Amino acid sequence: MSLPAIEEGAKKSSVLWLELPDGPRMAWHVWHEGAIYLVTGGPEQRLPGLAEAEEIEVILRSKDNGARLVRFPAIVQVVDQGEQADVVALLARERLNGSSDRWAAESQVVRLTPQEMAPRHAD
């Protein structure tokens, strides 16, 4: 699966699945400039172990029928919310009652960058 196919899948649905240490979790996200961004912690979605991980498996599903479209490894990086203000603003626009001020104090913004290697097709 190519990066354009991952991008298309990520843009078509605002949710994805992450393979976290305690099992798969659904998460809302946005796609921006070649990566997936999401907010975790504080009052936002709880994704235990994500911010501490170096790599995570991401699963994108069809918005129409829920079937797996693609599963791929992504590099995890907590971003500086001040330096990535454009991304934080994008996330806040996509999130009902999103608050970048609250996120700065209580949450982390995480970037998931698809790895360069060819991602695996979902089972």
Say yes or no to pLDDT of 119 above 70.
Answer: no
Superfamily name with CATH number, domain 3-114? Electron Transport, Fmn-binding Protein; Chain A (2.30.110.10)
Name 27's bridge partners. Answer: 16
pTM for the model: 0.85
What's the whole-number average pLDDT of the chain? Answer: 84
> According to the model, what pLDDT value does residue 99 have?
64
Could you count the other beta carbons within 10 Å of the beta carbon of residue 121?
11
Q: What's the CA gap between 71 and 98, in Å, rounded? A: 28
Q: Which amino acid is at 56?
A: I
C-alpha angle 39/40/43, rounded to 5°?
A: 105
Q: Which tokens go with 116? A: 């360069």
Could you tell me which residues come within 8 angstroms of residue 89 by beta carbon, excluding any fewer than 6 positions away? 100
The tens digit of pLDDT for each residue in 12-57 reads 888 999 999 899 999 999 999 999 999 999 888 999 999 999 999 9
- Spans of all domains in the chain: 3-114
